[in-house]
Amino acid sequence: MTRRQKKGRKENTRSVRFPRILIITEGEKTEVAYFQSIKRLMDQKYHEQLIVEKVDLEIEGAGQSTSKLIPIAEKLRLKNEYLEVWLVFDKDRFTDFDVAIRNAESKNMKVAWSNISFELWFLLHFEEVTAPLSNQILTQKLKNHVADYSKSQSLTYMNLEQYVDLAITRAIRANERFESHIIFSERNPSTRVVELVSMLKRYL
């Protein structure tokens, strides 16, 4: 290799600076563990001709219900400058689900919500889901694919990576089954986690 060729290769090497992103969830374990696994991947150098300087992805497990996440997110946003703020929460048993989504969006936050729960995103890696689900049925279906699945031992992005494109396709199809006028709490099964993961996947 000539000196000029070496020089040219060096010039093609560049630094990649990722946007500063805040993800805050109402779940204390499942969602946090999943997104922390993505953060670990993003922290690594992933291409021989790219130097990854830093990934400013922050995840907070607040253990709070839906509307309470908004002031927590606002407080964290004041401390740092974020390109995007994402809230991750479930329909589950919360009655303020629709209000929380609208309030968050009005404050320029994005919401990766799930109806009925975050585990729907996991299940979509393994099968198409069209019928409404309860948490009990959802957990049982997951155990059909992951025998030892439990909320205390969450799946990671790496566990599911080979199926993630299928999950994205299935989630989009599930979401498209509902017309826009149907309120979020009645869209079961549906998940907007697909939007957050699709965005993060571009950096992996």
Predicted confidence (pLDDT) per residue in 73-105, tens digit: 898 888 877 888 899 999 987 888 999 999 999
144, pLDDT greater than 90:
yes
Domain containing residue 96:
17-201
Give the whole-angstrom CA distance, residue 15 versus residue 24.
27
In a domain, 30, yes or no: yes
In a domain, 11, yes or no: no
49, pLDDT greater than 60:
no
pLDDT at 56: 44
Neighbours of 40 (CB within 10 A): 14
204, pLDDT greater than 70:
yes
Give the whole-angstrom CA distance, residue 19 versus residue 42.
12
Mean local confidence (pLDDT), 57-70: 67
Residue 17 confidence class, pLDDT cut points 50, 70, 90: low
Distances (CA, A) of 98 to 33, 110, 115: 25, 14, 11
In a domain, 190, yes or no: yes
Give the whole-angstrom CA distance, residue 186 versus residue 91.
9
What is the count of structural domains for the chain? 1
Neighbours of 172 (CB within 10 A): 13
In a domain, 143, yes or no: yes
- Residues 6+ away with beta carbon under 8 Å from 106: none
In a domain, 6, yes or no: no
In a domain, 125, yes or no: yes
